[in-house]
Each structure stands twice: as structure tokens, then as C-alpha cells.
Structure 1
């Protein structure tokens, strides 16, 4: 069985800081990351979806974590085709528009390429330290299965090389009927890690939890099963604490997935209070056999 790393999609969420998960003496950014890295071997950087990182910050992340620690970095929203706040763009690359949000087509090709370049170059300190597991590209609900979108996946992977791109879909068309096998085979052919998701079903963005590996790296993201999945309040959307029974049901599935890969990354994205940290710790115990 390949190595399984378990972590969470945040270490700085305000509700986490208020939850008491960090000891009282852990108060600075450096102390918090150091404490987190002492509990888990993996973290997903979610803040990079909302604004590109800067190199000084990523250098500090690399310096403040152990040699074997791994960061998965979520791609900036503009690079996945999501609406992006103009204010999130570097000032010199902002288009002259009265709109609060923009899409890739609102930028010149040169400006769009420069956003890509700056996003990737800001990750150099983490890459040089060997601490990037993958770049998470979570595509929007309107990113459906079609030839042009498959080509987009290849272009994204090409831009990011030698960094690994992991692909998360948010439209069920990729898995409808025969499309399921076609999608997985496409990802395998191009050595693109597929992101398994556990999430509420029956919504526009819902995809089924297809537990498959398409590369030597597999990823699983647990979004929870909040009854308020469509809420614009992110804490209502992800405020779900998995039960022990739910996690116990997933443990053998994760072991089976890891048996077909070199490495499996499991991220708890139910980031409200210390829910993700509690569930991640419990899942580590389950996978290690302590509670089997």
C-alpha cells in the first residue's frame, strides 16, 4: 500500500483560531504553522484561490515546516475560470472595467499569461524545498465534459510543469454513463491525478464519490454533508462534523485506493471550528489501525 498523508484545508481559519485547538501559548503565524505541522504531514493552502501568494510568504512556509511536510496549493480562481475580484489581481494587471469580477477573457492574453507566470513563480521557494505535492485545480460547475475542456486540462498541466496538477470536477457530466470511464481513462493517459470528492449530492455542483486513481498520486477531499451546501456563508456550507461511523466507512476505501498508488493525499475541507482537525486526527487513527 502506498503512503497516505492526511491533513486539512486550512490552518488559519478564524473559527479554528477561536475553537481552542491551538494551545494558548501558540499565538503567532510561525507558531501556528509549526504546531500544525507537528500534528499533520500535509496541508492544503486554500487562500491562494482568493488571491495569488507572494514569494516572501511561501518562503516562510517552507522554512517553518519539517523537511517531509507537504503543501497542496489551490489554484487562483482566475486560472480555473471562476469569477475573480478585480481587487485580487496585481494592480498593474487589472483591466479597465467597472465590473467587480472578471474572467480570463476580460484580460489581454499578455496580462493573463503574466498572472500565470507570477502565480507559479511565487511558489518557487516551496518547489525548491520539495514541499509541493500538487496544484489543485477545482473547476467551476459550468466546466462540463467536452473536447475544449479536455484540452484546457492539458494546457493547464503544460503551464504548470514540472509541478503536478490535480483535477477536481464540479459537474456530473464527467461521470454520467459511459463518460465516467472515458474521463478516468483520459486522466490516466495524461498522468493527471484525479481528485475524489465526498460532498452533498443533488446540487448543481454535485459529483459522485468515484473512488479511483488515475496517477501515482491520488487525492481525496472531504467537503462534508451540510444541509446548507448552497449557502453563501462558507462556514454554513462547510460546517459539518463527520461521525466516527462515516469515517470508519471511508477507511477501507482509502486503503484500497492507496494500494493502487504511490501516494494518497486526504484533505478534510469541512473547515469550521476545529471540525477538520478533529476528523483528520480520527481518520489517521483509523488508517493506522488503532481503532480497527
Structure 2
């Protein structure tokens, strides 16, 4: 089974009628896509009651990929919010519990930064993280090329299988050591995640600039690029019972359109919200 969705549900203006309130967007999103990546959890662990509300606002069969809090993946800058790792992981597990109980937790996504390279210490950290997340489905995404270097690639994949990590297979710019190649290998029979980050090579390594968020994921996939992925997804679907696809290329608002185009190419049902009709103005002088 393949499901396609977007990173976040709040910023994709083209899929909502104008004037849609923020509180109503998740319901309208879930009428169009069967999976979503929750990014707000990266910046702050979400309260369990909020996650329970999200579960209640979505239909049966809908799935959340919840991005791990930045304090768990080495992204955090400044003073930690939590006094200990035990407290931090405990809060994250509590946050995920309502989604899991509702059958709507697809996975927790642990995306590590470009400086998290393939070392014994980082392998140890991954083992410890997976131990702390026992009984929760987890996806692992790297941003440092060393994990897939020829001498480490098969060992990395074998490690993920042994430790119970699902693989996040990425489409992203090939822009040096802080980017990874497409590695179309599943490490779990249950689930594989595919994330489309775009191919904006010039904007990928601009995190030091004030407008980096505006350019990093600025990309509009061409049809032939999506066609390449049809073949890749067919292979991944033979390796995993479920494959989730997330379009994260929304700096220019392209994610939703690309996702729906890809759904159509895959033969999935594409729902389009009704077109709003502009009220006809009365001509006072033509009665």
C-alpha cells in the first residue's frame, strides 16, 4: 500500500478554500491525503491532549509521521527545556500515545543533522535512542553522506534492520557531504518512508542565511522526475507492506500540486476541493 501526503497541513494554501480557519485545516487536509508529517513536534513536544484532538479530527486509516523533537536529534541550540534525557523521551512517548492508541501513529521520524556522521559514538546514540523508543515505530533519516559511503552502506542498512528502524529514503540535492543519495532499500517489512525534499542544489547548503527556509525546499518536480520514482516505489512496495510518501518541497508552494500529480500517476484517488464561485455582481444600470 502506498500513501501520499505533505509535510505539515497548515501552509498549503492551494488545498483550502480561502478564509479557512487554522482549526479547520486538518479535517480538510485529511479529506485529500491519507498521511501527513507533523513538523511542529520538532520545535516542541506536543501535549497529549492536542494529539488526541488531532486523532479525533481525522478518519480511520489516516496516519501521522511525527518528527522527533530537536533535543533528541542534536539540532537543539540553547538551553534544553528538559532537565534530563529520561524526562525528554518520556514526554515524547506520552505525546505519541494518543495517536498510537487511535491506530493513527504511522511512525516517529528521527531526522539527524548534516554533522551527524557515521562514527561508533553515533551508532551507540542510535542504539540508545531506539531502546528509549521501544514499542513505538521509528523511522531513521540521515543527512550525512558517510552513512552510505561504499564501505558503510550495507552495514548501515543491516544495523537499521537489526535495531528495528524503518528507512527514510530521500530525494534531495546532491550537494556534498551534507546530503545523501537515493538508497532504495527497505529495512522494515512493515513500513518505509519516502521524503521528497526537492533538488535545489544552490539552496540546500544555505542554512547560515536569514532566508534559508525560503530557498532550501524551493523546487517543482517535473513529470519525468516523478516517473523515475514510480519504478523505485514499485520496488519498495515489494519490500515493505506500507510505503508513505511525503512531499516537503513547499518553499514555493509546489508540494501539494506535486503530490496530487504523483497520486494520479500512481493510480490513487485524487480529491479536489470544490471550486469557489465568485458571486455575480448586480449591474444597476442594465435592468
TM-score, length basis structure 2: 0.86
Taking a change above 3 Å as real, the CA distance of residues 289 and 281 of structure 1, as seen in their structure-2 partners, is closer
Residue 146 of structure 1, CA deviation = 2.1
3-state SS of 1:66 partner: coil
Q: Are 2:185 and 1:206 equivalent residues in the alignment?
A: no
Residue 144 of structure 1, CA deviation = 1.4
Q: Which has the larger radius of gyration?
A: 2
- Of 40-49 and 187-196, deviating more is 187-196
Give 2:41's aligned residue: 48
- 8 Å CA contact retained: 1:255, 1:287: no
- 8 Å CA contact retained: 1:141, 1:205: yes
Residue 85 of structure 1, CA deviation = 4.4
Alpha-carbon separation, structure 1, partners of 2:86 and 2:104: 25
Larger RCO: Structure 1 or Structure 2 (Cα < 8 Å, ≥ 6 residues apart)? Answer: 1
Q: Are 2:158 and 1:185 equivalent residues in the alignment?
A: yes
- 8 Å CA contact retained: 1:9, 1:269: yes
Give 1:266's aligned residue: 245
Give 2:232's aligned residue: 253
Select which of 155, 158, 170 maps to 2:143. Answer: 170
Aligned length: 263
Residue 203 of structure 1, CA deviation = 2.8
Superposed CA deviations along residues 241-281 of structure 1, whole A, max 9, x for unmatched, are 11111111111111111111111111111123531111111
Q: How does 1:9-48 map to 2 (within 5 A)?
A: 9-13=7-11, 16-17=12-13, 20-24=14-18, 27-48=20-41
Task: Give the 4+ runs in structure 1 shifted more than 3 A.
Answer: none
- 8 Å CA contact retained: 2:4, 2:33: yes
3-state SS of 2:192 partner: strand
Superposed CA deviations along residues 216-249 of structure 1, whole A, max 9, x for unmatched, are 2111111001231123421211121111111111
Q: CA RMSD in A?
A: 1.7
3-state SS of 1:52 partner: coil
Superposed CA deviations along residues 139-191 of structure 1, whole A, max 9, x for unmatched, are 11221112222222221112112111111011111111121111111112222
Q: How does 1:1-292 map to 2 (within 5 A)?
A: 3-13=1-11, 16-17=12-13, 20-24=14-18, 27-86=20-79, 89=81, 93=82, 111-216=84-189, 217-226=191-200, 227-232=202-207, 233-288=212-267
Residue 29 of structure 1, CA deviation = 2.9
Residue 38 of structure 1, CA deviation = 0.6
Gap regions ≥5 residues in structure 2: 270-287
Residue 210 of structure 1, CA deviation = 0.8
- Of 158-167 and 143-152, deviating more is 143-152
Gap regions ≥5 residues in structure 1: 94-109
Residue 289 of structure 1, CA deviation = 7.7
3-state SS of 2:221 partner: coil
